Amino acid sequence: MEMEKIIAQIENQKTLPNLNLSIKSKTEAFTHKLFYTLFDKQTPVKDNLMELGMDFEVLAKLVCWEPGSPCQDIWSEYLQMLPGILEKLNLDAQAIAKSDPAANSVEEVYLSYPGFYAIATYRLSHELYKFGLPLVPRLMTECAHSTTGTDINPGATIGNSFFIDHATGVVIGETAVIEDNVKIYQGVTLGALTVNRTLRNIKRHPTIKSNVTIYANATILGGETIIGENSVIGGNVWLTKSVPENSMVSHTPQISIKNAIDK
């Protein structure tokens, strides 16, 4: 009798009819298959694209429960975008290989760099986000987030030849704009000044212009904050105001060193 009461109490609280956890696992499988299709030399492109089309149809039926939501008809348009997305991703990989002295080959970037995987997943999800497809783009980037520690919202706008070095702890918000040839390091946050539901359709994350480098653990906040071209933002910097082009911004802590043993 006690067990029946517990079951009833649990079932009574499961009130969201569309909360289907298989959406998450199916999206993760879809993302991995898409990655292999685009990059793995041994993966047959034609066969995988056909499988991906069927997988997407299943996903679309699961997430498009609201009337008027875009569904499986998105796939044919998205398919046409894949060559262009792949071209951008190859530019990202080349930028990483050229910028990082620790990279021994472009193949190493594709296989082992968490920053590249996070960027790739972002670019693949971003186009689906622009279609207005519910849930799937966010779950795709969360797949990369859980794997790499890098959280890029699929709504962010990112230009060509993007490089995230080391990747762990990077956060890029939904309305952030990043132009071409930008390099950021671990722990960087491009965030909002405040968290308020009324700001949902307002730009609340910063704009990073071309050729900017942002070093580890820097935090840049605010939708009106613009980092000018060719600027360098040093480690641990906290910014809530714009910076003109060609700037060097640094944080200088006060360090005191004492001898462990007094003489």
Q: Provide the 8-state DSSP code for 199.
A: G
Which domains occur in the chain, in start order?
A: 17-148 (1.10.3130.10), 169-250 (2.160.10.10)
What per-residue confidence (pLDDT) applies to 259? 72
> What 3 state SS string does 221-260 have?
ECCCCEECCCCEECCCCEECCCECCCCEECCCCCCCCCCC
Buried b (16+ CB within 10 A) or exposed e, 119-135: bbbbbbbbbbbeeebbb
What per-residue confidence (pLDDT) applies to 56? 95
How far CA 55 is from CA of 8, 23, 50, 59, in Å, comes to 34, 11, 9, 6
Percent of the chain topping pLDDT 70: 97
Q: Is 48 exposed, middle or buried (0-12, 13-18, 19+ CB in 10 A)?
A: middle
What per-residue confidence (pLDDT) applies to 175? 97
Q: Average the pLDDT over 93-107 and give the result.
A: 94
Banded model confidence at residue 262, pLDDT cuts 50, 70, 90: low
Tokens of 159: 């230009």
The predicted-structure confidence for 170-227, as pLDDT tens digits, reads as follows 999 999 999 999 999 999 999 999 888 777 889 999 999 999 999 999 999 999 999 9
Contact call for residues 95 and 163 (beta carbons, < 8 A): yes
Buried b (16+ CB within 10 A) or exposed e, 224-251: ebbbbbebbbbeebebeeebeeeeebee
The model's pTM: 0.92
Q: Average the pLDDT over 141-146 and give the result.
A: 96
Residues 6+ apart with CB under 8 A from 174: 153, 154, 155, 156, 204, 205
**Most distant CA atoms of the chain, gap in Å:** 79
What per-residue confidence (pLDDT) applies to 188? 98
Contact call for residues 260 and 244 (beta carbons, < 8 A): no
